[in-house]
């Protein structure tokens, strides 16, 4: 299986946890775009966000995602807001197999209520914040994704197996790789 496997979804949906195990199973490198961004910035996303604001952060994020999806095949976990820019949505969908790890705001809140590292949730009412994010982003995630995986109750291993099954059924390769294979076949 060649190409990128890209995980999108709200903060706490399991993109990093599922991504790591999926990468191990596919024997591909795992890349967390937020970790790459923090390396570039030389500080946490939260610090950068507070200092510079959201737009400059989204500029860096767009450049990093563009770079990562051009590089060698990997399992790529994206930041929750990666789909906010049309250019990101188009690139992600065109350059890989995109899985939307979908969770309800209530499920996410249960998982994240003690997490202090997520800048967007450092608000008086994090559950309402998650509901607001979901209201804005759910349709963008759906527009970007090739597959929607419900993350409600399944274990990480089950989610990984669900993704692997979809990759096998869908021939696994991103559309561009499939087209090349057909052209050479």
pTM exceeds 0.85 = yes
* Residue 12 labelled as part of a binding site: yes
* Residue 179 labelled as part of a binding site: no
Considering the segment(s) 4-174 as one domain, its CATH architecture is 3-Layer(aba) Sandwich (3.40)
Determine how β-strand 96-102 pairs with β-strand 75-77.
unpaired
Task: Burial-class residue 144 by CB neighbours within 10 Å (0-12, 13-18, 19+).
Answer: buried
* Residue 80 labelled as part of a binding site: yes
Q: Where are the domains of the chain?
A: 4-174
* Residue 78 labelled as part of a binding site: no
* Residue 185 labelled as part of a binding site: no
Tokens of 44: 């946490």
pLDDT along the chain (185 residues), means of 10: 86 93 96 96 91 95 97 95 97 97 92 73 85 96 96 89 91 45 36
Residue 119 has what pLDDT? 64
Question: Across the strands, what pairs with 149?
Answer: 101
């Amino acid at each position: 299986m060649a190409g990128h496997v890209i995980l999108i979804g709200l903060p706490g949906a399991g993109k990093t946890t599922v991504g790591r195990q999926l990468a191990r199973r596919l024997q591909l490198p795992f890349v967390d775009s937020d970790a790459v961004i923090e390396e570039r910035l030389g500080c946490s996303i939260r610090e950068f966000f507070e200092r510079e604001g959201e737009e400059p952060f989204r500029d860096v994020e767009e450049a990093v995602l563009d770079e990562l999806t051009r590089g060698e095949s990997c399992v790529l976990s994206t930041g929750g807001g990666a789909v906010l820019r049309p250019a990101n949505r188009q690139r992600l969908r065109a350059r890989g197999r995109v899985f939307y790890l979908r969770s309800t705001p209530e499920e996410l809140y249960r998982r994240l209520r003690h997490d202090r590292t997520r800048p967007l949730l450092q608000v008086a009412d994090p559950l309402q914040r998650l509901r607001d994010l979901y209201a804005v982003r759910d349709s963008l995630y759906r527009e970007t994704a090739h597959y929607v995986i419900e993350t409600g109750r399944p274990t990480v291993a089950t989610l990984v197996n669900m993704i692997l099954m979809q990759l096998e059924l869908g021939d696994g390769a991103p559309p561009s790789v499939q087209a090349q294979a057909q052209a050479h076949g």
